[in-house]
Structure formats: C-alpha cells, structure tokens
Amino acid sequence: MPINYGSDTGKGFYKEEDLSIFLKAVESSIIKAPVKNNNKVFLSDLWVISSLPMDLIIEVLKKYKDELTVPEDIEEIYDDKHNEIVWKK
C-alpha cells in the first residue's frame, strides 16, 4: 500500500501534497542538527528535530539533492539505522 502524504478528503482518497513543501522543513532541520565526526549529520537527528517520518525525509533528500541548501561544513547525511549514506556533497 503506498504512503499518502496529505489530507484525507473524506471522499475515500487523499489529496496528495507536493514534496517541495517539505523541503524547507528538511533544510531547517539540517541547519539545526548537530554535526558529528567527519562532518556528518545523522538521519535520526533530522527525524527528532523535524518530526517528519524518516522515509519522507529520505524521499525529499533524494528528490531534491541538487536543490538542497546545506551549510558548508556538512559533507553527508548518514542513515545511522541502516548504515548508509542518504546524501553526499
């Protein structure tokens, strides 16, 4: 079953929201996140700061990787649960 981001219309379907509305929230959480060793930001920190679902954060990072505004000291965003790099400069 696909994940629906948006609001229930009450008519049996969801009004889907464009992922770009979540881009600013993800960028804001990246700015607020602590920078760990080797200039990494952990995905779990972004989740705690933004309260967005992890799969939504990953989807936004992958879709808008070229448009993402990230501070210069951050080299990568690391998924510490699955041990993989989600975004890299």
> For position 8, what pLDDT does the model report?
60
CA dist list (Å): 77 to 27, 32, 34, 50: 12, 13, 11, 15
Strands of 35-81 (E only): list them: 40-42, 76-79
Tens of pLDDT, residue by residue over 13-59, are: 555 667 888 999 999 999 999 999 889 999 999 999 999 999 999 99
> For position 1, what pLDDT does the model report?
46
| pTM for the predicted model, two decimal places | 0.78
- Residues 6 or more apart from 63 whose CB is under 8 A from it? 19
> For position 15, what pLDDT does the model report?
58
> For position 59, what pLDDT does the model report?
93
